[in-house]
A and B are shown apart, each in its own frame.
Chain A
Amino acid sequence: MLSGRAASHKIAKQFYRERALLMRMMNGRSYWVLGAIFIVLLILPPVIPRFYTYIMALMFVTGLLAMSLNMVVGHGGMFQFHHAAFYGVGAYVFGLILKKTSLPFWMAFGAGPIAAAVCGLLIGSFCVRLTRLYFGMLQISLGSLLWAIVFRWYDFTGGGDGIYGIPMPSALSSAKSSYYFILIVVAISLAVIYLIFKSPFGATLLAIRDNPARCEAIGINVRRHQVAGIVIATFFAGVAGVLFVVLERSVFPDLLFWVLSLEIFIMCLLGGWFTFLGPLLGAAITVALRTFVGIYTEYWTLILGVILILLIFFLPEGVMGYVMEKFGSQRYESGDRG
């Protein structure tokens, strides 16, 4: 994604540092920290107000969305400019199936992400024929086509109003139970994404980001790997979309709007592009800020814009990237790079 050898070296360095830290977390005592966080998240809902439960669940959903974007942008180096389209497709397919048909919940739950992944396959295989900016522009066009259809097909999708009151199974009727459901699905998704990052496929994706020409030369099918990356990422975007519906019980065309896509970009930037958990953190910060700033002022986007400018100028590697830079272990870096 970056131009220039120095820049890409810097990213690589940061990535290895991050991975070293993660490995240490997985091996050493930090393993318990992750477990402890998970347990805290499990016992939180009964003790905190309902509103905070909702906000936390929203953070997880948005976090999963940002993580799925980062998979292709931060780790794949592709200009995935319209990621929200797939989020919206997942949400709409799930919502429409529950609202209009009598199919069981689990079928709808599977159909959402699969529909998103199919869209990802279709759009992605056109996009990977192009590079960089053209890739992004083409994706915005194709994603906007989806948005236009959803926005205009009033009889089927509810047009600009969206669909409200999507029925949920009784097990997910309370805010608490939907919180647990979202927490578990997001945790599983994150584990899967982590495993994909660690797999040879993840390493290949990373190599393609850093030097596509060389990858082509050593016999890697660059385009096929990129499409596969997009399909996986859009699948998880679809999962996030489905979880959004579980939380909100409504869908609206703004879910597919390109402004949301760029907002997810901001979350990734805020958390840190080239880190694993950064986007999750960025999404959590963004959701928290939007909620609490929204109480005091209606000019939230102005504040978001200012934050974004500050980030670009002073913290381009994101919060997580900064923390890694400051406190990341030097020991592991040299060993890992060798």
Chain B
Amino acid sequence: MDTAQMFNLSALGAQFLVGLSRAMILFIVCSGMSFVLGVLRVPNVAHGSLYMIGAFSAFSISNLFGGSSTGFWLALIIAPLIVALVSLIAERALFCHLYEREHLMLLLFTFALMLIFGDLVKLTWGADYRSIMAPPFLRGSVPVFGASFPRYNLFLLVIGPLVAIILYFFTNKTKMGKIARAAAVDREMVGAVGINVSWVFAMAFVIGCFLAGLGGALVAPTVSITLGMDHDIIIEAFLIVTIGGLGNMWGALVGSLIFGLTQAFGVLFWPQFAIVFPYAAVVIILIWRPTGMLKAVW
């Protein structure tokens, strides 16, 4: 009886860590979405596509270096930059002309971007399943709580808080971050004190998309990279951002933790309906607090 309970506890612990590492990926992606939502007030439907582009670019870069660990680290740096560049082009060429328009048009515009990016990825990389390898010292697993736990997930558990800390310093200590926060609260006032709001928006959009690309590059070694991963992540990101409080980055963190953990424990208790657990958690939270856990920025 003792061993059975031990096993259960260790399974719970391991599953907790799995959920936590999943939550880190979700947090990186959703914080970007939340940042864009906070400043531009547009739910960026194309966010998932940029995440997918991040994953595919990571694959290409890693392939370029023959799957070596240098390739992996370069992919982790360059892939998000590629995504940032793509988003900068899209923003400056098209999106920036629409800021005066109504909300719904902006949302539909990002949906158009999603459709276009989806097919462009299909054109560039094809519809095959791709995968990349993590560097040797991140492969394999380590024993945690008596169960084996992938090393790469431990790496994610380090990266996630690191990104959170960087974001904290960016939004609270740098001038750019402060302007972005100000624009989230009152954009007219930011314009009135002589700051070029259009460029603030561009910056916020690109940073948000950079985070999407980073999430895509980070998730690449743990999943099979394929078309359709944009659809899966974007709906999760929407839900997380909603339960966290629209535009609130720390809300995105709370939402990601809830989402990742309920999903992980759902797998343990009822594998077939694991996907339903986080959705149900979202519904319960939204019925309890319709505007999310934390305060929305606007």
Interface of A toward B, CB cutoff 8 Å: 1-3, 7, 79, 126, 129-130, 132-134, 136-138, 140-142, 144-145, 148-149, 151-154, 257-259, 262, 265-266, 269, 299, 301-302, 304-306, 308-309, 312-313, 316
Contact = CB atoms under 8 A, between A and B. Distances in A.
* Interface size of B as a range: 35 or more
B103 to A, nearest CB: 7
A2 to B, nearest CB: 5
Contacts of A262: 45, 108, 111
Given A301-B115, A308-B112, A141 B282 contact: yes
Given A138-B290, A145-B279, A154 B112 contact: no
A137 B111 CA distance: 15
Given A7-B102, A140-B238, A306 B116 contact: yes
Nearest to A310: B112
10 contacts: A3-B102, A140-B239, A142-B283, A145-B280, A149-B276, A262-B111, A265-B108, A302-B123, A313-B94, A313-B97
Nearest to B98: A312
Interface of B: 41, 43, 45, 94, 97-98, 101-105, 108-109, 111-116, 118-120, 122-123, 231, 235, 238-239, 241-242, 246, 272-273, 275-276, 279-280, 282-283, 286-287, 290-291
A145 B282 CA distance: 9
B286 A138 contact: yes
A299 B123 contact: yes
Contacts of A79: 104
A265 B97 CA distance: 21
B36 to A, nearest CB: 13
Nearest to B118: A301
B245 to A, nearest CB: 10
A130 B282 CA distance: 15
A126 B111 CA distance: 25
A298 to B, nearest CB: 8
B115 A133 contact: no
Contacts of A302: 115-116, 118-120, 123
A144 B239 contact: yes
Contacts of B241: 137
Given A141-B286, A259-B231, 7 more contacts: A3-B103, A132-B103, A140-B239, A142-B283, A302-B120, A306-B112, A312-B112
B108 to A, nearest CB: 6
Contacts of A145: 276, 279-280, 282-283
Contacts of A129: 290
B109 A312 contact: yes
A151 B231 CA distance: 14
Nearest to B102: A2
**A-B pairs with the 8 shortest C-beta distances?**
A305-B115, A302-B119, A305-B116, A308-B112, A137-B242, A145-B279, A305-B112, A301-B115
Contacts of B104: 1, 79
A130 B290 contact: yes
A1 B105 CA distance: 11
B242 A134 contact: yes
Given A152-B272, A313-B97, A308 B286 contact: no
B45 to A, nearest CB: 7
A289 to B, nearest CB: 13
B34 to A, nearest CB: 12
B103 A309 contact: no
Contacts of A126: 286-287, 290
A134 B291 contact: yes
- B94, B123, B235, B238: most-surrounded residue (chain A CB, <10 A): B235
Nearest to B111: A262
A217 B238 CA distance: 34
Contacts of B113: 305
B241 to A, nearest CB: 8
Given A7-B102, A141-B242, A308 B276 contact: no
B45 A137 contact: no
A75 to B, nearest CB: 14
Contacts of A1: 102, 104
Nearest to B122: A299
B12 to A, nearest CB: 23
Contacts of A152: 272-273, 275-276
B74 to A, nearest CB: 30
A151 B94 CA distance: 36
B293 to A, nearest CB: 13
B246 to A, nearest CB: 7
- A148, A149, A265: most-surrounded residue (chain B CB, <10 A): A148
A149 B280 CA distance: 10
A134 B112 contact: no
Contacts of A148: 275-276, 279
A206 to B, nearest CB: 17
A8 to B, nearest CB: 10
B85 to A, nearest CB: 19
B112 A141 contact: no
A79 B97 CA distance: 23
Given A126-B287, A134-B246, A266 B279 contact: no
B270 to A, nearest CB: 10
Nearest to A154: B272
A308 B43 contact: no
A258 B111 CA distance: 11
